[in-house]
Structure formats: structure tokens, C-alpha cells
Amino acid sequence: MPIPEDVTGEEIDKDVRQELQSLPKTLAEDVAKNLVMVARLLDEDPEGAYGYSRVALRLASRVAAVREAAGFAAYATQKYGEALAEFRAAKRMTGNIDLWPVMADCERGLGRPEKALDMAGAPEVHKLDKAGQVEMRLVAAGARRDMGQLDAAIVTLQSSELASNSVQPWTARLRYAYADALLAAGREPEAREWFAKAVEADRDGSTDASDRLAELDGVEFVDALTEDEAEDEAQAEDEGEGGDATEEQKD
């Protein structure tokens, strides 16, 4: 797959670059460039990112960072079985348990919420940092919802992190998930309150909490362009009718 000229491979993290030092120099550069493309496209063009991840995998399947990148690209394209296999390979190579929550979410994607819940209760969870533990809580709550256990999902999300007033990178998503679970359980006033709290914490627009809040408040957003087009059409129709009338008068 073509690599844009502005991509040098130097853009990757220092730790990943260090991992690639086990490869011949030219090969390491090629792998690095493909990994840069995976990171660049992952959110906006998951299929494109997946394509580059397959190239990197073909070039250096024994590098943990490559397996991890391939896992995230497969995950983004909902190839959950493939993603899980890549994450397991990366975990075997490094012994790192940071991928535990996303591995559990792959189990959800494969229709195995019970397995995801087993993973949420495993000893590995205690080794995760705070962000990882919050992520695991979100996955466990999702698994409960998959199983139709709405009340259990709500309880799962209730935590010191949810109650805290300090805003962390995970705060908006945690509050959003809680609001969404409350709404699914028919607890609309509480859901509205928590969507509002999610909006307060969502400084980079990572959720659509503001849209959900507006929806609950009955606010409709009209596209200004669509409105203008409608007015133009109405005006054209009026002019057309006026023209017909003039023709009739001539007759």
C-alpha cells in the first residue's frame, strides 16, 4: 500500500521504535511507516488502517507493537475474533496486561458477554492502572446490558470515579455510559442529569452527550442550509404558479 511522502516513520513512539531495532534498518523503517499510517487512519478510515496493519504484520509479526496495532485495527473494523487473537499474541510477548479490557470487549463483540464478565472479575484487573480499571468497568457494564441486566449495569458503573468531581480522561465516557444505562432503564430525569454532567466533562467532544441532552430536552437542530433550500423551493413554486396564472390570463 502506498505511503504518503510526508510519513517518515520517525513519528512513532520511542518505545515502539526501540522494539523495531531488532529488525534490519530498512525493514524497521518500512514497518514504522505502516504503523504511522495505522495510527493516522484508525479513527477516520478504519478499513484503511486495517490494510496498513496487515502489511506491517506481514513484515514483522514477531514484534509485539505490530501485533497490538493489528489488534486495534481489526477491533476498529469489528473483526473481533482476529483482534482478540492479535491482542493475546501481544500480551504473550510482553506480559503486559494493559490490553485486558479491550480483550474483554472483543468477547462481547463475539457474543460472549459472560466471558467478558469473567475477565472483569479476574486477578489481572487489580494490576491495571486507574484508567484501565475504569475501562474494565465500562466493558462489564456493557456486558450486563448485553444480557438484559439493566439494573446490574447501573450498579456496575456506580463507583468512586463516577462520584468524583475531578475531571479525568475517562470521566466523560463514564458519566455518559451511566446516563445511557439510566435512560435504558426508564429513569429519564436521572439520565438527563448525568448527560449534563457528561457534557461538563467532555472537553474534546469525545461523546455525543450534548446531542443526547438536547434530544431529552426536546430541542431540534435544523440544518441552516436545508432551511435555505426549502425557502428557495417554496419561492420557485410561487413563481411557477404566478407564471401559470399569467399564461391563463393571456388565453
The share of the chain scoring above pLDDT 70, in percent, equals 87
DSSP labels, 60-95 = -TT-HHHHHHHHHHHHHTT-HHHHHHHHHHHHHHH-
Percent helix, percent strand, percent coil in the chain, to nearest 5? 75, 0, 25
pLDDT of residue 61: 95
Other residues' Cβ atoms within 10 Å of the Cβ of residue 163: 7
Q: Are 115 and 138 in contact (CB under 8 A)?
A: no
Q: DSSP per residue over 119-134, as a string?
A: HHTSGGGGGS-HHHHH
- Name the amino acid, one letter, at 17: R
Q: What is the pLDDT of residues 58-111, one digit of tens each?
A: 999 999 999 999 999 999 999 999 999 999 999 999 999 999 999 999 999 999
pLDDT of residue 170: 93
pLDDT of residue 227: 54
**Helix or strand (DSSP H, E) at 150:** helix 150-157
The C-alpha cell at 204 is: 474534546
Residue 228: all three cell numbers together: 435555505
For residue range 15-55, what is the model confidence (pLDDT) as tens digits? 999 999 999 999 999 999 999 999 999 999 999 999 999 99
Cα–Cα distances (Å) from 203 to 171, 198, 208, in that order, read: 10, 9, 12
Burial class (CB in 10 A: 0-12, 13-18, 19+), 160: exposed
- How far is Cα 148 from Cα 154, in angstroms, rounded to an integer? 12
Q: What is the dihedral of CA 138, 144, 149, 151, to 10 degrees?
A: -30
Predicted pLDDT at 221: 54
Strand, coil or helix: 222: coil
- pLDDT tens for each residue of 199-239: 999 988 889 999 999 998 887 655 555 555 656 665 656 55
**Most distant CA pair in the chain: distance in Å?**
90
Residue 120 has a pLDDT of: 97
In one-letter notation, the amino acid at residue 147 is M
Tell me what the mean pLDDT of segment 7-17 comes to. Answer: 90
38-44 contact pairs (CB < 8 A, 24+): 38/69, 38/72, 38/73, 39/11, 39/12, 39/69, 40/7, 42/72, 42/73, 42/76, 43/76
Confidence of residue 241 (pLDDT cuts 50, 70, 90): low
Tally the residues of the chain.
251
Nearest to 66 by CA among 33, 24, 41: 33
- Residue 251 in this model has a pLDDT that exceeds 90: no
- pTM of the full structure: 0.82
- Pick from 87, 83, 130: which is nearest to 109 by CA? 83
